[in-house]
Amino acid sequence: MVELGDHTKLMNIMIGLCYKVPKWPNPFLQKNYVISKIELKIHQSNPDIIITNKKKNHSIIFECKSSDNLKESQMAKYDKIRNNPILLIQSGKVPITHKDQFIVDPVYSSFKDLSKNELISKYNMLCIYVKKGINCKIDSLILTRGVFRNTHVNKIFPIDTSKDEPPYRLYPFDENDKELFTIEILNQLQKFAYKQQSFKIPQLLEGCHSLWKFIDDNKKFERKANGILHDLQRSKLKGYLSQDKVSGEWSVIIKPNVRSFQAFQKKCKQVIKELDFKSYQDTLENQD
Amino acid sequence: MSAIVKKIPNKLKNRHEIYSFLEDHMAKTYEKIRQEGEYEFGKNLLKTYIIESNYKDPFHFLDSLNGKAIIKWNKIDKDSFLIDYKKSDLEVNFFIDTINPRFWLLHTISPARDTDTVIGKFVQPMISHLDHLWMDRLMLQDIKLEHGDYTKSIGIQYRYGDVFPSSDFGDSFSLRANGAPSDILIKIFSQYPELAGIFAISSVGFKKIFNSDVNENELKLLIEDVYYQGKFTVKGTSIYEHIDTVSDILRKYENLVKIIESEYNMEYTKAEGGFTIKGSPLCIDFKKRIENLDVFVKTVFSAKEPFRLSGFHSKLDSGTYLISCLDLHNGDDLRLELTEDWVRIYLPHDACGNTTMRFLCNLQRYYDANASLEGINSGRIR
């Protein structure tokens, strides 16, 4: 069972609401919201997702919370942006048509209902409760606190998702989803071997994570990927994986026949199975 | 003693001469069948194979065969050539038409068993840059309806037991029917849910008459058998009508592949103030619920034939499987989400539309003949 982090799940769930995916609703897209940014680098806040309806001069900041450990400094920053949205425009993060009429609503989304949280109340934040049903399926999304100032948006709640399944490949993993990160790297290694191409880490990450190049703070992924590759080279994929000392390029050698790829796949499956995540995590954390 | 090898003569100098020769051959085989009920021994039917090519220049394909077989070739014009292929006791020749650089037509009158083998040798190897067509069940039914005045044959190959663990001989099923009852069989298979799930059509045969108001000796007609991997065998009176039929089927297939590539390949690009996602995931719906997802995943993504998908999977607490895999046919990398009832497919920006069609066809043939392909922009695609 993969331990896909709650943060990654929430990121996918919220991005999915703004995008065309079979078997998952897209009410924000239907209200003409498009994704402006993900994982922004803004001092003290670093919002996860910003979506914007350009015609309505309205942006929504989604903060995906995997725990109820909320930071006051972050919330204060969101409050500041809400009261003075020009800050978001000045940072070049959203495209709008009328800066004087621009409105920003920050929202906390979580698998817990945060509506009673003290800080949330103090700063009067909006909350979306992502309610799980049986078998960990997502049952519905409920706006448990606050109202959007583009009133059309309020009407989309509650969002019934009981018959749907969120897309989990739009934002495939964050830097802490070690298993999925490794799986994506292994799959890309197969691809580079198949195409008989050597690669550098940015190329690897472009294949691993579709949104990697749009993430403001994407260096953290590079560091983790570098750690994983060196670990694989030293241990489980010794003989397959090598790095050119001069250019720094990596290459994977697999003979171009099905049997050799099957052997490589077997080896990789062993990597996934035998991965000692505890020590692995330590290795990775040492890269930071 | 081996059968006489029939080939398109190398002395033919242009398309017109080659088509005349092939038409003459077609007409003779048809006449023999019409008069005697069977065709002459050693007199093979005209066959056309459609192959998808990723070669920028077809002559690179010829170069790739060096050392694997003895190849002699004649350039007929800038888009076509005749090749003789010889390896051990395999000896065949093809007229290859590359006027459509992505989808080549290979015409031959060599024995079907040998040409099937050689086509397999061209397409099957890893990094061959070639692929078959993958026409799904609905497409074959549509072809019969659009092109045929009469149904002549139907082939069904449902091969679950060849791939998935099974102790029951009934898990695979094949049938080949010739003649008028073919249409009745199609109705029966479609009506009964127990049969619909194994109704994986592998070929359709039809008769098409172009001038029904003349006497029998002057009839212009075609009798085509179309196989799901893009092979056509033909009897009849006009090579040009055959080529028109093949081209029409190919045009529809190519459109479908292009729709998949333009609307469903996913590309993330920078846009004003952020980024946009072009394309969206596709979904294959199953009518036959997957009872054991673990076995399904381990079977389909094991890198083995027929799927040849080398994948890694993980299971979420909701029971959904996440799979990342490489298609060993052409090196496309896919991301999928699999539940008991459907699989959602995320195609990279440069994926080949044929990859999706191959996956769908193989799922229909080896798991659920009723599996259907859907996209949010187009509704049901196949």
CATH number of residue A246's parent domain: 1.10.10
Cβ atoms within 10 Å, residue B344: 24
Work out the minimum CA distance from B274 to partner chain A, whole angstroms.
4
Work out the minimum CA distance from B89 to partner chain A, whole angstroms.
25
For A139, the closest chain B residue by CA position comes to: B318
Q: What is the pLDDT of residue B168?
A: 67
Quote the tokens at residue B135. 């026409």
Per DSSP, the three-state class of A210 is coil
Q: How far apart are CA B192 and CA A254, in angstroms?
A: 48
From chain B, the residues in CB contact with A257 under 8 A are 126
Q: Between chain A and chain B, how many beta carbons pairs sit less than 8 Å apart? A: 149
Half-sphere exposure of A184 (CA within 13 A, CB side): 27
For A94, the closest chain B residue by CA position comes to: B273
**Nearest by CB: B325 against A136, A187, A211:** A187
Q: What is the pLDDT of residue B40?
A: 61
Per DSSP, the three-state class of A19 is coil
pLDDT digits (tens, 9 = 90+) for B221-277: 999 999 999 999 999 999 999 999 999 999 999 999 999 999 999 998 876 656 778
Same structural domain for residues A129 and A55? yes
User: Is the predicted pLDDT of residue B5 greater than 50, yes or no?
Assistant: no
Q: What angle do CA B261, B116, B137 make, to 5 degrees?
A: 45
From chain A, the residues in CB contact with B273 under 8 A are 36-37, 52, 92-95
Strand partners, B46: B234
Report yes or no: B21 and B12 within 8 Å, Cβ to Cβ: yes
Task: Examine residue A166 and state whether it is found in any structural domain, yes or no.
Answer: no
Which of A13, A163, A191, A213 is best to mutate for the B interface (most B CBs within 10 A)?
Answer: A191
Task: Examine residue A235 and state whether it is found in any structural domain, yes or no.
Answer: yes
Distances (CA, A) of B183 to B90, B144, B206, B329: 37, 10, 10, 35
Last residue of a domain, which of A126, A160, A194? A160
**Nearest by CB: A195 against B302, B331, B375:** B331
Same structural domain for residues A142 and A24? yes
User: Is the predicted pLDDT of residue B2 greater than 50, yes or no?
Assistant: no
Task: Examine residue A1 and state whether it is found in any structural domain, yes or no.
Answer: no
Per DSSP, the three-state class of A78 is helix
Same structural domain for residues A156 and A187? no
Same structural domain for residues A150 and A183? no
Please, is A95 exposed, middle or buried when counting C-beta atoms within 10 Å of its C-beta (0-12, 13-18, 19+)? Answer: middle
What tens-digit pLDDT sequence spans chain A (288 residues)?
667 889 999 999 999 999 999 999 999 999 999 888 887 766 667 788 999 998 999 999 999 998 878 999 999 999 999 999 888 777 666 766 677 889 999 999 999 999 999 999 999 999 999 999 988 899 999 999 999 999 999 999 999 999 999 999 999 988 888 889 999 999 999 999 999 999 999 999 999 998 888 877 788 899 999 999 999 999 889 999 999 999 999 999 999 998 999 999 999 998 888 764 544 455 555 554
Work out the minimum CA distance from A121 to partner chain B, whole angstroms.
31
Q: What is the pLDDT of residue A244?
A: 95
Task: Examine residue A26 and state whether it is found in any structural domain, yes or no.
Answer: yes
The parent domain of residue A120 ranges over 6-160
B54 — pLDDT class (breaks 50, 70, 90): very high
From chain B, the residues in CB contact with A34 under 8 A are 274, 276
Handedness of CA B241, B246, B249, B254 (dihedral sign): negative
User: Is the predicted pLDDT of residue B75 greater than 80, yes or no?
Assistant: yes
Work out the minimum CA distance from B304 to partner chain A, whole angstroms.
8
Q: What is the pLDDT of residue B220?
A: 85
Query: DSSP class of residue B298?
Result: H
Q: What is the pLDDT of residue A43?
A: 65
From chain B, the residues in CB contact with A262 under 8 A are 302-304, 310
Same structural domain for residues A32 and A87? yes
Work out the minimum CA distance from B126 to partner chain A, whole angstroms.
6
Same structural domain for residues A241 and A156? no
Task: Examine residue A165 and state whether it is found in any structural domain, yes or no.
Answer: no
Strand partners, B201: B156
Q: What is the pLDDT of residue A288?
A: 47
Q: At what angle do helices B239-259 and B15-36 cross, to 10 degrees?
A: 110
> For position A77, which CATH number holds?
3.40.1350
Q: What is the pLDDT of residue A151?
A: 94
For A18, the closest chain B residue by CA position comes to: B277
Q: What is the pLDDT of residue A56?
A: 92
Quote the tokens at residue A91. 């940072």
Same structural domain for residues A222 and A256? yes
- Percent share of chain B, pLDDT over 70: 95
**Nearest by CB: A183 against B270, B312, B318:** B312
Q: How far apart are CA A6 and CA B233, in angstroms?
A: 56
From chain B, the residues in CB contact with A20 under 8 A are 280, 376-377
Distances (CA, A) of B271 to A49, B213, B274: 15, 62, 5
Query: DSSP class of residue B45?
Result: P
- H/E run at residue B242: helix B239-259
Quote the tokens at residue B178. 């010739």
- Total domains, chain A: 2
Q: How many helices (H) and strands (E) does chain B have?
A: 10, 20
Peptide bond into B193 cis (omega under 30): no
Same structural domain for residues A194 and A136? no
ipTM: 0.89
B38 — pLDDT class (breaks 50, 70, 90): low
User: Is the predicted pLDDT of residue B316 greater than 80, yes or no?
Assistant: yes
pLDDT digits (tens, 9 = 90+) for B139-182: 999 999 999 999 999 999 999 999 998 876 668 899 999 887 88
Q: How far apart are CA B239 and CA B97, in angstroms?
A: 14
* Inter-chain touch A36–B274, beta carbons under 8 Å: yes
* Inter-chain touch B277–A35, beta carbons under 8 Å: yes
Work out the minimum CA distance from B315 to partner chain A, whole angstroms.
5
* Inter-chain touch B127–A22, beta carbons under 8 Å: no
**Nearest by CB: A1 against B302, B317, B374:** B317
- H/E run at residue A186: helix A178-195
Q: How far apart are CA A24 and CA A17, in angstroms?
A: 8
Distances (CA, A) of A24 to A107, A157, B25, B184: 21, 15, 56, 40
From chain B, the residues in CB contact with A178 under 8 A are none
Quote the tokens at residue B261. 């590539």
* Inter-chain touch B126–A268, beta carbons under 8 Å: no
Q: How far apart are CA A62 and CA A87, in angstroms?
A: 17
> What is the 3-state composition of chain B as percent helix, strand, coil, each rounded to the nearest 5?
35, 35, 35
Same structural domain for residues A87 and A184? no
Report yes or no: A137 and A118 within 8 Å, Cβ to Cβ: no
Task: Examine residue A185 and state whether it is found in any structural domain, yes or no.
Answer: yes
Task: Examine residue A19 and state whether it is found in any structural domain, yes or no.
Answer: yes
Same structural domain for residues A203 and A98? no
Which of B299, B312, B330 is best to mutate for the A interface (most A CBs within 10 A)?
Answer: B312
- Percent share of chain B, pLDDT over 90: 73
For B275, the closest chain A residue by CA position comes to: A36
Q: Max Cα separation, chain B?
A: 75
Same structural domain for residues A195 and A147? no
A89 alpha-carbon distance from chain centroid: 23
Report yes or no: A50 and A59 within 8 Å, Cβ to Cβ: yes
User: Is the predicted pLDDT of residue B44 greater than 90, yes or no?
Assistant: no
Q: What is the pLDDT of residue A44?
A: 64
User: Is the predicted pLDDT of residue B4 greater than 60, yes or no?
Assistant: no
**What pTM value is reported for the model?**
0.92
Q: What is the pLDDT of residue B240?
A: 94
* Inter-chain touch A191–B319, beta carbons under 8 Å: no
B1 — pLDDT class (breaks 50, 70, 90): very low
Task: Examine residue A168 and state whether it is found in any structural domain, yes or no.
Answer: no
Same structural domain for residues A248 and A282? yes
